[in-house]
Structure 1
């Protein structure tokens, strides 16, 4: 039997050259697309990995340990014959200074010990030097007391010049800011301890000797015409201290004098009223029977560093007690060894210090981070003097036999530690430990406060209030648009909402800061009325609509009912805002901000979390809506029809079939929206007060990690601790979004696997 053939049928030759070329071209396009997608995917992964590695590259140096390396060891002329009174280095750590007990100042090269200049302080004939005091390491101002009761103030300076060949020349010298005239403290009294503090208003010198304690102020008066400064001497009538004085210090504000008494007590003398100085307190500053062996100010003069015979160095500073009075309190402690602390040298620009003990050990510590950075033996014998360079990158050490060691110090980021970043820290002048971010200030004595907790909290706070507004509106809108809305209306509504995502966030932040924040402040009562009554009014309208006769209801086609809610929303919004002033006057005495503060104790800032929630929620809604709507709309129709055919209502079908099937997509929409809220920068930057505080109060602002990076990165010094901590903040933000997205993907995969059988 022959196969049926038609006169219209023709035999197709699949081996023709044209079809072969077509098949080859199609195969090439398939492979090109396959490789293009693969390369693009791998490229995205590589790009993300490179970002992570670069952030890690900038952050890792923060946590490298400090180190010291010996550069040179030498002896200075006559250094073994005379006692070392003072050691110092200039800015570049190229020239060192030593002052011996004969008043001879030796300037020398730190890396070789070669003497380049010597100079003698004028010592009165027939007298000896009995004590030395330093005003502040940064000022280079010193004072020497002599056995006849006189003192002289001098200063070491360094003249830096550059020659034509760009070679730097440093010329050291000694100057006398108050002339070479001696200051008489007490006639024929040898002061074994001396303290000095110099400010623009006065020079104060305090000296103690056998049965003598003298405090003299040289008040400065400047002639505005000539610029000449006249000194007026004032002898303070200080009370007798209950013990033998073994050390003296004067704070930078010239209010407090700290006197070490005997071996274990500290007397605090208040000289704010120079006519009537009083003893503020006498406290025990040692433990376990140890004795006080060293006393210095930390940078800024707020904190006292007290070293004892057991190798401990404790930090003390004033805090306000329950009666609002100043009380000296021990804040934290460090331990170098079991030997007595013989010398403490504070860093010139950071809240760190170097301590030396009687066995030749050196320790470098940072107070804010509470870190012990280095413990190292540098001498076989007890250390007579130490000096740290102004940049804290070099160290000079001399033992009792006159041997000097010059050490290179690598200690780049001492103020960063886990506790400084994530735990509460007791900062100077604070009443208790707190989470604080304050990376810079106007003074060189500033204590960096680099806690990331307020920034992380602010990030979560902003995201929470944004999602609180965006998530319900976006998900409910997606459900209605995808499941109940008429297709013709959906084709108009969905693109309009998605178009909102194209609005630049800087514009939204600009509007939120300049228009929305004042508007919310002026109509706060109306905003709350709107948030409370809008859902109620919409439900009430829906109920009333359902009670209307069918002849009226059926005039609106199915799926178009949402259109009649538009005038309801506008009307309720207008009425709520119009009621703002009457409600505020009737219920809150005309000032709802004052009522909130008085009734709840909550502060109100104009640019607050409520404004951020409204503005950032508006920005996040399109993202969540678009993805969730696509997920719900993509649920196979046969599932919906089958559920309805089995007798389920549309609502039952929605909750028990559609939403469960679309749950992976809805969850992904929420996670992507959360990621958008967490990483948002410009809206938070412009719509909040940008204050890094930890307060869940909706009426106060915050600072997020992203906004903080945007604000402070342009001002940070490249390679500084501040700079690298900002990169650490970026890394924290990166890891947070990575972890959240990874967990979201795992949950989404489980949801898809669980409900795939529907």
Structure 2
């Protein structure tokens, strides 16, 4: 008899209203999560792109070419106009706003409107009757000083000044002429002053004048009577020896020591303070052609020489190995093949304008060794060119007609060579990489080399990674592979907690405590680096020899904690024997031994301090990612290796580490990115000196620290301001390239070892 089961299995419906609602809700959640993740990812990419393009937007103007066109006023082009007044132009200049020009002739001074040539003020020069003007000398364009050399052997020193007033809220500029040494021309020589050179410093004047057959020197001191307020002049005259080079032009450097005499194609260097009196110390061949222009660059340290073959060269004095000063040709500027008619010097930058006798104007910057503009501004030979003080305008005179030009040349002192190559700066013995963005004086030569900053960035990152990488990776290996879970649960959060420590605190401690401490215990620090590894290995060997009944008193996996007192005691021992070690091996002072005996410069805030401080900053990052990568290796791989007879160390090196290598490599790259972009530690723990020296006892300046230090002081829109953005752009590109390369390597490692 069979018994049939008549009970039917329960029917489960997946299409009930509740199930349908659940599926719709789950689908909606999945879709929203997908959209949210996609939106977040795209937002991150867009944010990075916005940062990239914003930096590029701020940097791009640095590399724009100069532009020059006729001046525009109220939408109308300013046409050429006749030179105001009569006579040949001896000197041409403009005031700060480029609204008023000054034209000096042999008898009169004319202040005129630069837009139309209308004379605003006219005054006769106090030149004695029957005396002619035979030479001119620019003393200082920024101070608006120039001089006229007269045929009776006297010199007239003139200053043009401009006073701004605001009657009824409208600016009015009132020009005037002043005579610092009086309206009476100062007697210099018994010869006509066909040659004239003047240097001015404070209340002291040095005037040299004469002709190619003889020169005289007059030193003038201006003293003000404290009782009456009257100005008194005390002068001292002397005759200079004949130099016999066919002098055509004189330049007297502001230090009153060096006189430069230009002949047909040579330059004579005269030391006015030489033992035994002034004497020629050098005669240098300046050009193969004939010198046509001979002027001083801003600051009075460098000479510009133009010739009739279109060549322009820059020269300045360089101290040689014998401590003698040698006039040296620094760089040349090609300016076509036509003769150089005139050179106009910028009043606030190391730049100048040169015009050939075919009417081609070129704008240069000496530091950047850059030709910023080449433009045809006239047909044929030009008589005179004059820069506005802000270098935004230029007056060009040709055949008694003036043309008023507007110039847009905001950043001429930037070029690839100025940023990344060695540059021979004024006053330096040789070309060098230098960052020095500001100084106290207005004739300063900015030095914008990014090489010291890039070098300092890599140097800081190198020493930080050198210290942090071995400790972080070895600690992560032990924690993830050898340490018991109970101990791992305590150690890992503690180390990761270090990452939350603000870097400003680390920098503060490194700069104010660690750096002085290491200087006082330098020998002890090196003893620590030697004894701590030895003590760890020695303790491990001794612990292995201890009887099992004693070793087994320590729970399995906790024996590593015994190393903590060992390391502490070793550090204390090392510091305690620091002084005896210094006395025994280094004469009592390791720092002096390093500086004097080894010849290695030592700075208290150095790369060793930065390496230790930044090492502590990058260790938690590298440790955490590396530990997670090793711990995430599937256990069946390690168990299978051990089951096949491999030792734990073989399993680690041949199975675990290769499998975890993509994660370990990512940890290193992220740690390096952290080190490269670190700001506060290197800002506070180094001397912030932008030098290029791999010496571990020297400091450095990084790109990030430089931005933090100088950005608040930079003028918005200035070259300095945009250079700092360029430094940020370089840092951005560097980290982007490193991360991209790291991702490519990580993917290859994952592909190679992903099949294990």
TM-score by length of 1: 0.96
Q: Quote the residue 2:374 is aligned against.
A: 375
User: Which of 184, 187, 205 lines up with 1:184 in the alignment?
Assistant: 187
Change (3 A) 1:207 1:2: farther
Q: Quote the residue 1:386 is aligned against.
A: 385
**Superposition pairs for residues 309-458 of structure 1, below 5 Å?**
309-399=308-398, 401-458=399-456
Alpha-carbon contact 2:83-2:401 (below 8 Å) kept:
no
Q: Quote the residue 1:141 is aligned against.
A: 145
2:194 is paired with a residue of what secondary structure?
strand
Superposed CA deviations along residues 542-565 of structure 1, whole A, max 9, x for unmatched, are 111112222222222222121111
- Comparing 105-114 with 426-435, greater Cα deviation is found at 105-114
Change (3 A) 1:377 1:160: same
Q: Quote the residue 1:151 is aligned against.
A: 155
Report the Cα distance in structure 1 between the residues aligned to 2:403 and 2:419, rounded to whole angstroms. Answer: 35
1:604 is paired with a residue of what secondary structure?
coil
2:363 is paired with a residue of what secondary structure?
strand
Report the Cα distance in structure 2 between the residues aligned to 1:17 and 1:126, rounded to whole angstroms. Answer: 119
Superposed CA deviations along residues 528-587 of structure 1, whole A, max 9, x for unmatched, are 010111111101111111122222222222221211111111111110111111101111
Q: Quote the residue 1:19 is aligned against.
A: 19
1:383 is paired with a residue of what secondary structure?
coil
- Comparing 422-431 with 544-553, greater Cα deviation is found at 544-553
Mapped pair 1:53 → 2:58: no
Alpha-carbon contact 1:190-1:210 (below 8 Å) kept:
no
Q: Quote the residue 1:43 is aligned against.
A: 43
The alpha carbon displacement at 1:342 in A equals 2.0
The alpha carbon displacement at 1:362 in A equals 1.3
Q: Quote the residue 1:504 is aligned against.
A: 502
The alpha carbon displacement at 1:224 in A equals 5.0
1:191 is paired with a residue of what secondary structure?
coil
The alpha carbon displacement at 1:111 in A equals 2.2
Report the Cα distance in structure 2 between the residues aligned to 1:75 and 1:3, rounded to whole angstroms. Answer: 121
Report the Cα distance in structure 1 between the residues aligned to 2:604 and 2:97, rounded to whole angstroms. Answer: 49
**Superposition pairs for residues 668-683 of structure 1, below 5 Å?**
668-683=666-681
**Superposition pairs for residues 683-702 of structure 1, below 5 Å?**
683-702=681-700
Report the Cα distance in structure 1 between the residues aligned to 2:4 and 2:351, rounded to whole angstroms. Answer: 104
User: Which of 87, 90, 95 lines up with 2:100 in the alignment?
Assistant: 95
Alpha-carbon contact 1:237-1:277 (below 8 Å) kept:
no
Alpha-carbon contact 1:236-1:274 (below 8 Å) kept:
no
Report the Cα distance in structure 2 between the residues aligned to 1:416 and 1:2, rounded to whole angstroms. Answer: 99
The alpha carbon displacement at 1:173 in A equals 1.3
Q: Quote the residue 1:657 is aligned against.
A: 655
Alpha-carbon contact 2:84-2:119 (below 8 Å) kept:
no
Alpha-carbon contact 1:91-1:391 (below 8 Å) kept:
yes
Q: Quote the residue 1:247 is aligned against.
A: 249
The alpha carbon displacement at 1:39 in A equals 0.5
The alpha carbon displacement at 1:221 in A equals 3.2
- CA RMSD, Structure 1 to Structure 2 (Å): 1.7
Q: Quote the residue 1:215 is aligned against.
A: 217
Report the Cα distance in structure 2 between the residues aligned to 1:425 and 1:5, rounded to whole angstroms. Answer: 98
Alpha-carbon contact 1:237-1:276 (below 8 Å) kept:
no
- Comparing 205-214 with 234-243, greater Cα deviation is found at 205-214
Report the Cα distance in structure 2 between the residues aligned to 1:501 and 1:178, rounded to whole angstroms. Answer: 69
2:621 is paired with a residue of what secondary structure?
helix
**Superposition pairs for residues 232-243 of structure 1, below 5 Å?**
232-243=234-245
Report the Cα distance in structure 2 between the residues aligned to 1:225 and 1:472, rounded to whole angstroms. Answer: 77
2:341 is paired with a residue of what secondary structure?
strand
1:208 is paired with a residue of what secondary structure?
strand
Report the Cα distance in structure 2 between the residues aligned to 1:108 and 1:659, rounded to whole angstroms. Answer: 82
Q: Quote the residue 2:522 is aligned against.
A: 524
Q: Quote the residue 2:74 is aligned against.
A: none
The alpha carbon displacement at 1:167 in A equals 2.5
The alpha carbon displacement at 1:258 in A equals 1.1
The alpha carbon displacement at 1:327 in A equals 0.8
Alpha-carbon contact 1:208-1:245 (below 8 Å) kept:
no
Report the Cα distance in structure 2 between the residues aligned to 1:265 and 1:226, rounded to whole angstroms. Answer: 49
Report the Cα distance in structure 2 between the residues aligned to 1:744 and 1:126, rounded to whole angstroms. Answer: 83
Report the Cα distance in structure 1 between the residues aligned to 2:44 and 2:609, rounded to whole angstroms. Answer: 35
Report the Cα distance in structure 2 between the residues aligned to 1:3 and 1:205, rounded to whole angstroms. Answer: 131
Alpha-carbon contact 1:353-1:365 (below 8 Å) kept:
yes
The alpha carbon displacement at 1:220 in A equals 2.6
2:383 is paired with a residue of what secondary structure?
strand
Alpha-carbon contact 2:84-2:117 (below 8 Å) kept:
no
Alpha-carbon contact 2:214-2:240 (below 8 Å) kept:
no
Report the Cα distance in structure 1 between the residues aligned to 2:81 and 2:275, rounded to whole angstroms. Answer: 46
Report the Cα distance in structure 1 between the residues aligned to 2:611 and 2:164, rounded to whole angstroms. Answer: 56
The alpha carbon displacement at 1:414 in A equals 0.5
Report the Cα distance in structure 2 between the residues aligned to 1:751 and 1:390, rounded to whole angstroms. Answer: 61
Report the Cα distance in structure 2 between the residues aligned to 1:253 and 1:487, rounded to whole angstroms. Answer: 76
Extract unaligned runs of 5+ from structure 1.
none
Superposed CA deviations along residues 456-496 of structure 1, whole A, max 9, x for unmatched, are 00000000000001000000000000000000000000000
1:396 is paired with a residue of what secondary structure?
strand
Q: Quote the residue 2:644 is aligned against.
A: 646
Extract unaligned runs of 5+ from structure 2.
72-77
**How many aligned residue pairs are there?**
748
Report the Cα distance in structure 2 between the residues aligned to 1:617 and 1:740, rounded to whole angstroms. Answer: 19
Report the Cα distance in structure 2 between the residues aligned to 1:594 and 1:3, rounded to whole angstroms. Answer: 102
Report the Cα distance in structure 1 between the residues aligned to 2:309 and 2:7, rounded to whole angstroms. Answer: 112
Alpha-carbon contact 2:110-2:122 (below 8 Å) kept:
yes
The alpha carbon displacement at 1:713 in A equals 0.5
Report the Cα distance in structure 2 between the residues aligned to 1:414 and 1:448, rounded to whole angstroms. Answer: 12
Q: Quote the residue 1:607 is aligned against.
A: 605
Report the Cα distance in structure 1 between the residues aligned to 2:224 and 2:19, rounded to whole angstroms. Answer: 102
2:182 is paired with a residue of what secondary structure?
coil
Change (3 A) 1:404 1:5: farther
User: Which of 536, 539, 563 lines up with 2:537 in the alignment?
Assistant: 539
The alpha carbon displacement at 1:255 in A equals 1.4
- Comparing 460-469 with 108-117, greater Cα deviation is found at 108-117
Alpha-carbon contact 1:73-1:403 (below 8 Å) kept:
no
The alpha carbon displacement at 1:3 in A equals 6.9
Report the Cα distance in structure 2 between the residues aligned to 1:124 and 1:647, rounded to whole angstroms. Answer: 112
Q: Quote the residue 1:281 is aligned against.
A: 282
Superposed CA deviations along residues 381-439 of structure 1, whole A, max 9, x for unmatched, are 2111110011101111111x112111111111011000000000000010000000000
Report the Cα distance in structure 1 between the residues aligned to 2:121 and 2:4, rounded to whole angstroms. Answer: 123
The alpha carbon displacement at 1:743 in A equals 0.5
2:355 is paired with a residue of what secondary structure?
strand
User: Which of 64, 70, 80 lines up with 1:74 in the alignment?
Assistant: 80
TM-score by length of 2: 0.96
